[in-house]
Amino acid sequence: MKLTILGCHSATPRWDAHPTAQVLEARGHLFLIDCGEGAQVQLRRYKVKFARIKHIFISHLHGDHFFGLVGLISTFRLLGRETELHIYGPKGIKEAIILQLKLGNSWTNYPLLFHELDDKEPQLLFEDNKISVTTIPLRHRVYTNGFLFREKIGERKLDIKATQAADVSMSYYSKIKQGFDVKNEAGDLIPNAQLTLDPEPSKSYAFCSDTAYEPNIIPQIKGVTTLYHESTFLTEHQELAVKTRHSTALEAAMIARDAKVGTLIVGHYSGRYNDLELFGKEANEVFDNVELAEDGKVFLL
């Protein structure tokens, strides 16, 4: 999994700080997560091959998470896109986008499919034989979901040297990868484990923005490879975090610790802080593996 941060700042765009948008590359997919104003410019700036995006997940309908969506949809039209595009987001998102396209008499020439959400329990949004995407219900001022991306366990990998050593015919390679024991040229049954290597470990990524401290999510994100959790504030502004239903860096780290995740990435910083290192320091009080999101930063999970 490869995560590219397009923007990770809260509130309003500044010339050097962009609102939330991320691209997750996983098992051949390119998923866009949130789409603040200017996300399409950031996609170009960081040379993401964004025509490959087929699924866009919008956490909630505050402007800093979706005002860039209608522009990106329009750009796809201008670039002659034909592939279908799936938008997953809170109820109301379809009306907002369609109305704006209608006003400009600018219908898309590709299938634009909306999947509107209003469920308060985790919902499976997308699944194929390689990966699944599920909502993580969050607690914010408006209806909000995080998203959990979980790779499936792949096939065992053929150990070519071992099959040659065991004198197994190449015609069995497909069976071996599916997990079967097979016979060698001499007619002996060779156990599958002797002919194969473990599949690559499956990775998982949980995106949680925006949300108040919400320990209810812990069972769902238990043990994920990487958790992105908003930390809009530092503890010195705890009362603001409570009032606006955001989290502090400490709270983000408590979630990471209690969910026993591999790595925590913090972001969605309020514009009032100049020194972002303070977020890392505060989170480190209770959790070690903390990374700071930055516009343009790439994380290999």
Interface residue list for a copy of itself (CB under 8 A): 11-15, 37-38, 40-42, 44-45, 60-63, 67-68, 70-71, 74-75, 78-79, 90, 92-93, 95-96, 99-100, 103-106, 141-142
Nearest CA to 96 out of 125, 72, 61, 65 is that of 61
Nearest-approach distance from CB 284 to a copy of itself, in angstroms: 30
Choice between 73 and 265, CB closer to a copy of itself: 73
Nearest-approach distance from CB 110 to a copy of itself, in angstroms: 15
Beta-ladder partners of 186: none
Catalytic residue at 64? yes
Choice between 39 and 182, CB closer to a copy of itself: 39
Neighbours of 141 (CB within 10 A): 13
Nearest-approach distance from CB 40 to a copy of itself, in angstroms: 6
Nearest-approach distance from CB 182 to a copy of itself, in angstroms: 54
Gap between the Cα atoms of 158 and 52, Å rounded: 30
Which of 64, 118, 159, 210 is flagged as catalytic? 64
The amino acid sitting at 257 is R
Choice between 14 and 52, CB closer to a copy of itself: 14
Beta-ladder partners of 9: 19, 269
Residue indicated by tokens 């320091």: 281
Choice between 68 and 267, CB closer to a copy of itself: 68
Beta-ladder partners of 14: 17
Catalytic residues: 64
